[in-house]
Structure 1
Amino acid sequence: MTDAEWRAFVSDGTRTGKLSTVRRDGSPHIAPMWFLLDGDRVMFNTDFGSVKARNLRRDNRYTFCIDSDQPPFAFVVISGTAHLTEGSPLVEQWASRIGARYMGQDRAAEFGTRNGGELLVQADIDTVIAYTGVTD
Structure 2
Amino acid sequence: MTTITAEKVRSFLDEGGRTGKVGYLGLDGRPLVVPVWFARDGDRIVFNTSADSAKATAIARDPRLAMCVDEQSGRTFVQIQGSAETTAEQAEVLRVATTVAARYVGAEKAERVGGKIAGPGQLAVYLRPTRVVTSGDLSE
Compute the TM-score of the two structures, normalised by the length of structure 2.
0.87
What code does the residue aligned with 1:104 have? Answer: G
CA offset digits 1:24-49 (Å, max 9, x no partner):
22211110010011122110001111
- Whether the aligned pair in 2 keeps the contact of 1:18 and 1:64 (CA below 8 Å) is yes
SS of equivalent to 1:95? helix
Match of 2:26 in 1: 23
Percentage of matched positions with identical amino acids: 36
Compute the TM-score of the two structures, normalised by the length of structure 1.
0.89
Once residues 82 and 20 of structure 1 are traced to their aligned partners in structure 2, the CA distance between those partners, rounded to angstroms, is 12
2:109 counterpart of 1:125: no
SS of equivalent to 1:49? coil
CA offset digits 1:37-79 (Å, max 9, x no partner):
11221100011111111111111100000001238x2011100
Q: How many residues align?
A: 132
Unaligned runs of 5+ in 2: none
Query: After TM superposition, where is structure 1 displaced by more than 3 Å over at least 4 residues in a row?
Result: none
Match of 1:75 in 2: 77
Once residues 132 and 78 of structure 1 are traced to their aligned partners in structure 2, the CA distance between those partners, rounded to angstroms, is 15
Pairing 1:92-103 to 2, within 5 Å after superposition: 92-103=94-105
SS of equivalent to 1:106? helix
Cα deviation for residue 115 of structure 1 reads: 1.7
Once residues 49 and 39 of structure 1 are traced to their aligned partners in structure 2, the CA distance between those partners, rounded to angstroms, is 27
- Whether the aligned pair in 2 keeps the contact of 1:81 and 1:125 (CA below 8 Å) is yes
RMSD: 1.7
SS of equivalent to 2:77? strand
* Bigger relative contact order (CA 8 A; separation at least 6): 2
